[in-house]
Amino acid sequence: MKRVTSIDVAKRAGVSQSTVSRVFSGKSSYISEQTRTKVLRVSEELGYTPNAIARMMSSRQTNIIGIVMANITSPFYPYVLEKFLQRFQEIGRNALMFTAAPNQEIDDMLPLIFQHRVDALIITSATLSSEMAEACAKHGTPVILFNRYVTGAPASAVCADNVEGGRRIADLLLDTGHERLAYVAGSVNTSTNNDREKGYTDRLTERGYTHLQRAQANFSYETGFQAATTLLESDHAPDAIFCANDIMAIGAIDAARSLHLRVPDDVSIIGYDNIPMSAWASYNLTTFSQEVDAMIDDTLNILSNKLENPDSPPVISLVLGRLIARGSVRGVQPTDS
């Protein structure tokens, strides 16, 4: 039960504690094959494992990266998380995870996180105040926002180009001759929804389209179903609905069907995200992809850059998705993927 330390190993192996340390710290350091194996053997016998905490303490480097995820259960965050973790393990770093409780400000969590002296911090799907971003910068802790951004603050960010995506969807719907357009919004005050809506409505306006209908939902299947039902039962039912994400779009398809409307013949429905489910035969949803892998790669690149070169300025990367043409919008030729 008593913890065995490098000193115990040193004594038993008849070498100095420094030597034991060298064997385990792996780096350069020249050690004779002979003593190395001896140390290793003794460690095995004694059941010695280096104490990472002590290592952090004396090297002033934790090799820990903090991850804050606000919405773990949303469609693609688990995937993102898995990729992050795999990558971190490959480069010998560990992940300390935090989740933002409902209504909890990220700002409030930071002090706790900083106590752990993380080497860097990734925050997904949540924003921090510019003051806090300043604080992090002063602290010397690189922060990368994933799928959010703050302008003017010293924090890097990787984000889908939702504004441009919204614009392209507006173009698509107009180009294919739709005449009564609607928008099903995601949760208010999320940048995801705001940006998609802004791109969509701005472009519509630019092209002279004026009577856009709108229904509020919150990114969930149920609210998407609800919102679409309301829209489709109204007097001036739309012939095309853009839903702020795929889940709601799938809800909308089900809503249309339960009203005995055909998709896309009676109403076109387009989503956003390109989650796996949107490819399923029963939905075959036309959507606009989030290039998640590209976003993950960008994040990881920015991160290693910052880690190697702490003084490099913050980077903001906007990743544009692409149209995934399937069968739920009238008049568009399905693409292969």
Partner DNA sequence: TTGAAAGCGTTACCAT
Partner DNA sequence: ATGGTAACGCTTTCAA
**Binding site residues, DNA, CB under 7 A:** 3, 5-7, 14-19, 21-22, 24-25, 29-32, 34-36, 48, 50-51, 54-55, 57-61
**In the complex, what is the shortest distance from the CB of residue 72 to a second copy, in angstroms, rounded to a whole number?**
5
Return the range that interacts with a second copy (CB under 8 A); candidates 38-46, 176-184, 252-260, 298-306: 252-260
103 binds a second copy (CB under 8 A): no
151 binds a second copy (CB under 8 A): no
Phi-psi map region of 26: left, alpha, beta (phi>0 left; psi -120 to 50 alpha): left
**Are residues 277 and 249 in contact, defined by beta-carbon separation less than 8 angstroms?**
no
Question: Using a CB cutoff of 8 Å and minimum separation of 24, what contacts does 36-40 make?
Answer: 38/13, 39/9, 39/13, 39/15
Residue the block writes with tokens 């856009």: 212
Angle at the Cα of 320 (from 333 to 227), degrees rounded to 5?
Answer: 65
**Cα-Cα-Cα-Cα dihedral of 26, 31, 35, 39, to 10°?**
-20
Q: Which does 48 bind (CB under 5 to 8 A by kind): DNA, a second copy, none?
A: DNA
48 binds a second copy (CB under 8 A): no
**In the complex, what is the shortest distance from the CB of residue 49 to a second copy, in angstroms, rounded to a whole number?**
5
149 binds a second copy (CB under 8 A): no
Site map (CB under 8 A) of a second copy, residues 259-298, x = contact: -----------------xx--xxx----------------
**In the complex, what is the shortest distance from the CB of residue 99 to a second copy, in angstroms, rounded to a whole number?**
4
Q: What is the CA radius of gyration of the chain?
A: 26
C-alpha 190/C-alpha 44 separation (Å) is 53
188 binds a second copy (CB under 8 A): no
β partners of residue 158? 146, 317
Q: Binding residue for a second copy (CB under 8 A) from 62, 268, 289, 328?
A: 62
Q: Which does 273 bind (CB under 5 to 8 A by kind): a second copy, DNA, none?
A: none
Handedness of CA 80, 86, 90, 94 (dihedral sign): positive
**In the complex, what is the shortest distance from the CB of residue 23 to a second copy, in angstroms, rounded to a whole number?**
14
What tokens were used for 212? Answer: 């856009």
Question: In whole angstroms, how far apart are CA 290 and each of 85, 210, 271?
Answer: 20, 28, 11
230 binds a second copy (CB under 8 A): no
Contact residues: a second copy, CB under 8 A: 1, 47, 49-54, 56-57, 62, 64, 67, 72-73, 77-79, 81-82, 85-86, 89, 94-99, 101, 111, 114-117, 138, 140, 221, 225, 250, 253-254, 257-258, 276-277, 280-282
